[in-house]
Structure 1
Amino acid sequence: MSDLCFDVSGSGPVLLVIPGGAGHPMGLDRMTAYLARRFTVVTYDPLGLGHGRLGQPVTDQRVEEWSDGARRVLDEVLPEGESAYVLGTSSGGIVALDLLARHPERLRHVVAHEPPCVAALPDGARQRERFQEVYDTYRAAGPQAAGARLAAVLEEREAGEDGTGGQPLSREAELSSPMALFLGHVLVPFTSYVPHTAPPSAPLTLAAGADPRGQLLHRTAAFLAERYGSGFAEFPGGHIGAVQHPEAFADRLVEALGAGRTGVQG
């Protein structure tokens, strides 16, 4: 896909936001509007799902392709000689880590919130198997059944009867649903990605929701922070804290970025 899709609002230092799921920025409007009081917020939409491309064909996605797109967005919006803050959430957090590893030259500080880099865990092989089971459930029984199994995986409990029943979606129905696109074309390739954990060339904070302490993605973020030797911060809410508590999440982001020390007004 050659055409970049992104939205820009506000003024101040550039903050690139990379959404989770299939990259659709839905649900982030309140947080980004609040952040736009302090930053030039650039919200990247890697598949263009919020820009008229929902319903068009989608193939299995690659972290590196989203990361290269994010770099191209920064090339378009960053003034010469300036650098950007980055917030990546969930699958977008994986992209933020790859962006930091491969294109660090114009990054000011990266926050990766609950990136599901489960392949990097000591029990990564088992976790990858469990996400493959979610995908298999989606193909056999549709998104509702797969969502139930995914919840069990994230909560690190046995699925039991979760993920049973239901019918697979038609191709047309899948292409019209961001959640279905995530389950069908993002979940497995992204959770199979093993991040580069060499010391980062720009400041990095791994973040996790305060609500699900001890669950899989909180554990993953803490593990990666130790591997990177980076900061670790808890944010309000759970995995979708940016949607649940948009203003509190934004305030915690500003704290984590240390933006108050770089001339950004709180």
Structure 2
Amino acid sequence: MESLHEEPTAHLDPEDRMSSSTAHVTTDTLEIPDGRLHYEVRGRGPLVALVAAPMDAGAFAPLADLLAAEHTVLTTDPRGIGRSVLHDPHQDSTPQLRAEDVSRLLAHLDAGPAAVFGSSGGAVTVLALAEAHPEQVHTVVAHEPPLLGLLDDRAELLAREDDMIATYLAGDRLGAGRKFLANADIHLPEELVQGMFGGEPEPQAAADEHFQYVHMIRGTTRFRPDVAALRAGPTRVVVGLGATSTGQVCDRTSRALAAALGGAPTMFPGGHIGFVEDPPAFATRLREVLAHD
């Protein structure tokens, strides 16, 4: 499952950023009933929204720049993360609430129906969006959604998740990070683990991490998609899976969701955050998937 600390560029200042592909980035905010959403738009053409949780819009910047050659690309910080501020910072972030946020952004831009790509917690968001607002999205790509409730060993996995959160709340950031990776069956070199979870993060990263552990993880992993509604609805639902994610928990959840929907996962290059690891290869594959209606 995607961590805030797997993407070192997640908090770059996006103001008036010019990409290597010369796509101009427009940044703005949208007031919502319980807060304010930060969002970014680049490019022109059919609308594609890139949605993550807990990562913010910066994680998608290289991929968005590439897609902007032929698409209008929307990215956003999810509620309670980065520049998307809630009036009540102690409010939980559920997939349903995040789906409503994306729905409001799509309506605000008035450029749909859209294709929507979601990664990790964002993949759960876009599944909730397809359930609640199928008229706004013609295609949803849910890349490695951590839907633990779909697995036979969900009780054990959710108990381990609760233990991880308790470890974090006890002040053991490194221990919680180790449990996060172990629970996801992601194996990394020790120096990388220390770099991700050792020491003290910058204030915004620390606030985002706290929000992730306390207000986001449980609601995301416990979400149960309405498979019957997704199968019967008008939205094309694609379950994405990283080619190098074999054996990880999100490999299992992605295959379980795809099977429940009556198919197999669609393979993408890289692992859980393949769009960060190799944006050009990922953009090529995403274009292929979006073109295949």
In which range does the TM-score fall when normalised by the shorter chain?
0.7 to 0.9
Which SS does the other structure have where 2:37 is aligned? coil
CA RMSD of aligned residues (A): 2.9
Which SS does the other structure have where 1:201 is aligned? coil
Whole-angstrom CA distance in 2 between matches of 1:247 and 1:51:
27
AA of the residue aligned to 2:248: Q
Matched, 1:8 2:41: yes
Whole-angstrom CA distance in 1 between matches of 2:258 and 2:84:
37
The answer as to whether partners of 1:210 and 1:236 remain within 8 angstroms in 2 is yes
The answer as to whether partners of 1:111 and 1:206 remain within 8 angstroms in 2 is yes
Question: Size of the alignment, in residue pairs?
Answer: 249
Question: What stretches of structure 1 of length at least 5 have no aligned partner?
Answer: 262-266
Deviation sequence 1:124-174 (CA, Å, 0-9, x none): 2222222212211111233322111111111189xxxx9xxx99x9xx958
AA of the residue aligned to 1:34: L
Which SS does the other structure have where 1:51 is aligned? coil
The answer as to whether partners of 2:38 and 2:84 remain within 8 angstroms in 1 is no
Residues 67-82 of structure 1 mapped to structure 2, 5 A cutoff: 67-79=99-111, 82=112
Which SS does the other structure have where 1:239 is aligned? coil
Aligned to 1:242: 275
Which SS does the other structure have where 1:28 is aligned? helix
Match 1:207 to one of 237, 240, 247: 240
Aligned to 2:51: 18
Shift of 1:237: 1.4
Shift of 1:51: 2.9
The answer as to whether partners of 2:139 and 2:235 remain within 8 angstroms in 1 is yes
Whole-angstrom CA distance in 2 between matches of 1:252 and 1:146:
34
TM-score, structure 2 length as denominator? Answer: 0.76
Shift of 1:5: 2.3
Aligned to 1:42: 74
Deviation sequence 1:194-226 (CA, Å, 0-9, x none): 111111421111011111212210111011011
AA of the residue aligned to 1:151: L
Aligned to 2:23: none
Shift of 1:77: 1.2
The answer as to whether partners of 2:36 and 2:85 remain within 8 angstroms in 1 is no
Whole-angstrom CA distance in 1 between matches of 2:252 and 2:290:
21
The structure that is strand-richer by fraction is: 2
Could you tell me the percent identity over the aligned residues? Answer: 31
Residues 181-200 of structure 1 mapped to structure 2, 5 A cutoff: 181-198=211-228, 199=231, 200=233
TM-score, structure 1 length as denominator? Answer: 0.83
Match 2:96 to one of 64, 69, 82: 64
Matched, 1:121 2:148: no
Aligned to 1:101: 131
Which SS does the other structure have where 1:27 is aligned? helix
Residues 83 and 231 of structure 1: is their aligned pair in 2 closer, same or farther, counting only changes over 3 Å?
farther
Aligned to 2:210: 180
The answer as to whether partners of 2:36 and 2:84 remain within 8 angstroms in 1 is no
Residues 52 and 87 of structure 1: is their aligned pair in 2 closer, same or farther, counting only changes over 3 Å?
closer
Matched, 1:224 2:257: yes
Deviation sequence 1:99-136 (CA, Å, 0-9, x none): 01111012111100111111122222222222212211
